[in-house]
Structure 1
């Protein structure tokens, strides 16, 4: 999967899980804050987001993979997904 395709899919997942509009998700960039910045992304939403990422990207997210840095910014989440896809 190309970085552009992954970026588009990840933004789609975020919009679907958090119930935000596609334009808001599309506006996310590498520095955009996620956890603690998007009110829709609370601790309960994190679990749903990670489950949907696993399902749609066909990757496995282990408990030890999840940390604050990964969820701090959109760029961190994108880099995490790229790494997981390269391991698959």
Structure 2
């Protein structure tokens, strides 16, 4: 499974980026860099990640650093899948 590709696909869908997320790399900043990634979008993305990957995210498991970059988000998902 290509976690990065799947995370980018979900990010693209939640933020309606029209395929632009496919060009993001692990260093691409997210929170604060993408205007559409507001608190409601973060909640939507968490819900999509839970549904797609089959895990549950506890409130105490995430903070702003989780969404700092594509890499930090992919790392979080990989840790949940481990």
TM bin (shorter chain): over 0.9
Any runs of at least 4 consecutive aligned residues in structure 1 with deviations exceeding 2 A, and if so which? Answer: none
Q: 1:21 aligns with which of 13, 18, 33?
A: 18
In the TM superposition, residue 62 of structure 1 has moved relative to its aligned partner by: 0.7
Runs of 5+ consecutive residues of structure 2 not aligned to the other structure: none
Output the TM-score relative to the length of structure 2: 0.95
Supply the RMSD in Å over aligned alpha carbons: 0.8
Q: How does 1:36-47 map to 2 (within 5 A)?
A: 36-47=32-43
In the TM superposition, residue 8 of structure 1 has moved relative to its aligned partner by: 1.2
Q: Which has the higher contact order (CA 8 A, sep 6+)?
A: 2
Runs of 5+ consecutive residues of structure 1 not aligned to the other structure: none
Q: How does 1:6-85 map to 2 (within 5 A)?
A: 6-22=3-19, 24-85=20-81
- What count of residue pairs does the alignment treat as equivalent? 82
Deviations 1:57-85 (A, max 9, x none): 11111101111111111100000000000
